Amino acid sequence: MASYARAFWIASPRAGEIRPVPVPTPGPDEVLVRTVHTGISRGTETLVFRGEVPESQYAVMRAPFQEGDFPGPVKYGYLNVGVVEQGPADLLGRTVFCLYPHQTRYVVPASAVVPVPDGVPARRAVLAGTVETAVNALWDAGPLVGDRIAVVGAGMVGACAAILLSRLPGVRLQLVDADPGRAALAGALGIPFRLPQDADGGCDLVFHASASAAGLQRGLELLAPDSTVIELSWYGDREVGLRLGGEFHSGRLSIRASQVGTVSPARAARRSHADRLALALDLLRDPVFDALLSGESGFEQLPEVLARLADGTLAALCHVITYGKE
């Protein structure tokens, strides 16, 4: 017989609510997880909240444990950290990460959760999905020792990519954003900050994560000849206009999309989705990632918080949702 939990649903574009949902009894190969924290993936989740997923992308953009369909009603999200309350002995009582929406308790296959390593606080572990996106982007790009690299867009994804890139020997790295307030974040990460007009050109690689046409255009302008922009932004149903009449053709420049739904072809033969997620969690041992956790609210406040993130009245990188013991 099912018990009940509470979950956040997007009832219709720009309208969120908390609903009771049934939770089945876990089977022999399943776990019951009590959620401790979820994170809001601001770029993707606000697009979903505003109803801006293109109809052609409805199937592609489904989250692993999504219920309902775009544009709504839909239960959406994928940055969940909780404690296993029922399940196999090796997972019982463990703190785990799962690509599950915002819900107080849930049942999933045991294979769908990944234990959070010792030394990674549960609150920081909500970043695992975003760090995984950054790992995939670096696999796609293949940066080399000594490269000149710009990351355009100092949001969650851009900042995670910049942290990983900063660990490469000899790299000349800059974090570029139109918001001067992001300089404080760059300082906390130990990475040079530049406004777009002040950024250094001649880059071997540019990672673009600002989700704006202006950011992508500036990323192209920063490239050296025969170089590439790795595009990490998702634009939903918005059109993006670029000026490609300058050095784009003469410089043989490239724009390459990187998307976390599949493992990068550079590693797909040797790494699984589970391997990639486990690596992301291991990388989160570094406390520098705490700089990306910019706000916290209780679960009951989630409908209001997501509405404010979606309309721009709440500025945040990763806003953490905290759950009580229900």
3-state secondary structure of 101: coil
Provide CATH 3.40.50.720 ranges for the chain: 130-257
pLDDT at 71 over 80: yes
- Residue 52: CB partners within 8 Å, gap ≥ 6? 236, 237, 238
Phi–psi pair at 225, nearest 5 degrees: -55, 150
What does the pLDDT look like over 306-324, one tens digit per residue?
A: 999 999 999 888 999 999 8
Residue 11: the pLDDT is: 97
**For residue 58, which of 213, 237, 211 has the smallest C-alpha distance?**
237
Compute the average pLDDT of residues 281-310: 96
**pLDDT of the residue at 236:** 81
8 Å CB contact between 5 and 20: yes
Q: What is the DSSP string of 39-95?
A: EE-HHHHHHHHTT---GGGTTTT--TT-EE-TTSSEE----EEEEEEES-TTTTT-E
> Hey, what are 174's tokens?
């800059």
Report the C-alpha gap between 219 and 232 in whole angstroms: 12
Per-residue pLDDT for 2 more than 70?
no
pLDDT tens digits, 84-138: 999 999 999 999 999 999 999 999 999 999 999 999 999 999 999 999 999 999 9
Q: Taking a C-beta distance cutoff of 8 angstroms, is the pair 224, 250 a contact? A: no
Confidence band of 256 (pLDDT split at 50, 70, 90): very high
- Report pLDDT digits (tens) over 18-41: 999 999 999 999 999 999 999 998
- Concatenating the DSSP letter of every residue in 285-311 gives TSGGGGGGEEEEEEGGGHHHHHHHHHH
Which residue spans of the chain are classified as CATH 3.90.180.10? 3-127+284-322
Kindly report, residue by residue over 186-208, the tens digit of the pLDDT: 999 999 999 999 999 999 999 99
Q: Is 198 helix (H, G, I), strand (E, B) or coil?
A: helix
Fold adopted by 3-127+284-322: Quinone Oxidoreductase; Chain A, domain 1 (3.90.180)
Euclidean distance between CA atoms 106 and 102, whole angstroms: 10
Mean pLDDT along residues 1-7: 84
Pairing status of strand 148-152 against strand 203-208: parallel
Higher pLDDT, 221 or 261: 221
CA distance 244 to 96: 46
Cα–Cα dist 28/175, whole Å: 47
Whole-number Å distance between alpha carbons of 162 and 152? 10
Look at residue 1 and tell me whether its pLDDT is greater than 70.
Answer: no
Listed in sequence order, the residues at least 6 apart from 228 whose beta carbon sits closer than 8 Å to its beta carbon are 141, 205, 206, 253, 254, 255, 256
> Number of helices (H) and strands (E), helices first, in the chain?
9, 17
How large is the angle between the packed helices 182-189 and 156-165, nearest 10 degrees? 30
> How high does pLDDT run on average in the chain?
95
What pTM value is reported for the model?
0.93
Contact 162, 151 (CB under 8 A): yes
Check whether 243 has a pLDDT greater than 80.
yes
Give pLDDT, residue 325.
Answer: 77
Position 326 pLDDT exceeds 80: no
Q: Describe the chain by its helix, strand, coil percentages, rounded to 5.
A: 30, 30, 40
- 130-257: in CATH 3.90.1150.10: no
Give 155's pLDDT tier (boundaries 50, 70, 90). Answer: very high
Which of the four pLDDT bands, split at 50, 70 and 90, describes residue 43?
A: confident
Is residue 15's pLDDT more than 80?
yes
**DSSP class per residue in 55-70:** GGGTTTT--TT-EE-T
The letter for the amino acid at 135 is V
Confidence of residue 156 (pLDDT cuts 50, 70, 90): very high
Residue 150's beta-bridge partner residues?
174, 206
Q: How many residues does the chain have?
A: 326
Going by C-alpha positions, the residue among 15, 19, 16 that lies closest to residue 7 is: 19
Per-residue confidence band for 235, with pLDDT thresholds at 50, 70 and 90: confident
Mean pLDDT (whole number) for 210-235: 96
Q: Which tokens in the block code for residue 147?
A: 């490269």
The mean pLDDT value for 139-161 works out to: 97
